[in-house]
Amino acid sequence: MIKLIEYSKDAIYYYEVKPERKFLYISPSLERIMGKGVIKRSYENPILPFELIHPDDADILEKKVSGEWDYDKPVIQRWKNDQGEYIWCEEYTTPVYENGELVGIEGSIRNINEKMKLQKDLEFEISHDPLTKVYNRCFFSKNMDKYNNEIDSSVGIIVCDLDNLKVTNDSYGHKEGDALIQEAAGILERQCPENSIISRIGGDEFAVLITNVNRDEVVQCIHRITEDINQLNQNKKKIKVSISKGYAFSQHSIDIMDELFSEADQNMYIEKRKKHQVQS
């Protein structure tokens, strides 16, 4: 049994909580997960786990050793390895009681870094547009519903449409058209606030949802987008970027999101028609 534990990929441990916090046993597998020297350091420094855990997961660790954790469910947390990198681990724990008092914890830990990476990659693919890497229409719609039905917030919506995508595709091919779409997404990512949800909602159409914002900030965002386009086009000799934009703003989002989107969309088409009139 001891050899099975020592050669297991999972690290096994026993951590005494009372009368004092210290490790009574750590299997060699922990060094395959966390790196060389971690076992010796853990025996010498009982609070090492609190130093190596990711700050956002520290409360989980404290609950685990204080008896406040639900020990029937796995513990998902991040630990800093010997390379200074945080790795995802899954842990199953069993509390040890004496006279109704928590005196220790025994558990097993495994590295689930690859599993978490695959999960995050899948979540990214589900919610993002593959060409531009901004959010997709489905993700945008879910957030529209959330702010329409659940969360009341000041909100701005910007709708953008590439004016010359069809001409670019017909004249230069879809590769150049894709590059134009990517440039448009890059402009929005550079100039929209960090709390924006930037989405490609159609072939040549983007929408930006900005929450906890005021009207001036939305207008300033529009101006920054325009300035970025102008700056970009100064250095372009072949295909210029042209984007029609429209926005709408409300102090409240509940029961108004569809109406707000329609207003922004209409304002975008007003700008697009003005451009056509000037060109003709």
pLDDT digits (tens, 9 = 90+) for 5-32: 455 679 999 999 999 999 999 999 999 9
Question: Half-sphere exposure (CA, 13 Å, Cβ side) for 107?
Answer: 24
Buried b (16+ CB within 10 A) or exposed e, 7-44: eeebbbbbbbbeeeebbeebbebbbebbeeebbeebee
- The answer on pLDDT for 226 being more than 80 is yes
pLDDT digits (tens, 9 = 90+) for 135-160: 999 999 999 999 999 999 999 999 99
Angle subtended at Cα 140 by Cα 210 and Cα 134, rounded to the nearest 5 degrees? 85
pTM of the model: 0.75
pLDDT number for residue 238: 79
Long-range contacts from 109-113, C-beta under 8 angstroms, 24+ separation: 109/10, 109/11, 109/13, 109/30, 109/33, 110/9, 110/10, 110/11, 110/33, 111/9, 111/33, 111/87, 112/76, 112/88, 113/87, 113/88
Taking each continuous run of H as one helix and of E as one strand, the counts in the chain are 11, 10
pLDDT number for residue 39: 95
Return the structure tokens found at 49.
């786990």
Return the structure tokens found at 188.
């929005």
Q: What residues are paired with 26 via a beta bridge?
A: 13
- Per-residue pLDDT band for 133 (boundaries 50, 70, 90) equals very high
In angstroms, the CA 273 to CA 88 distance is 52
pLDDT digits (tens, 9 = 90+) for 228-252: 999 999 987 778 899 999 999 999 9
Query: Which of 221, 31, 249, 264 is CA-nearest to residue 153?
Result: 249
pLDDT digits (tens, 9 = 90+) for 48-72: 999 999 999 999 999 999 999 999 9
Residues of the chain with pLDDT > 70, as a percent, come to: 96
pLDDT number for residue 219: 97
The mean of the pLDDT values for the chain is 93
- The answer on pLDDT for 171 being more than 90 is no
In angstroms, the CA 185 to CA 226 distance is 13
- Per-residue pLDDT band for 164 (boundaries 50, 70, 90) equals confident
- The answer on pLDDT for 2 being more than 60 is no
| Angle between helical axes of 137-149 and 257-279 (0-180°, round to 10) | 130
What SS3 class is residue 47? coil
pLDDT digits (tens, 9 = 90+) for 67-101: 999 999 999 999 999 999 999 999 999 999 999 99
- The answer on pLDDT for 168 being more than 60 is yes
- The answer on pLDDT for 1 being more than 60 is no
In angstroms, the CA 57 to CA 61 distance is 7
All domains in the chain, ordered by first residue: 2-116 (3.30.450.20), 128-279 (3.30.70.270)
Do the beta carbons of residue 158 and residue 220 sit within 8 Å?
no
pLDDT number for residue 23: 96
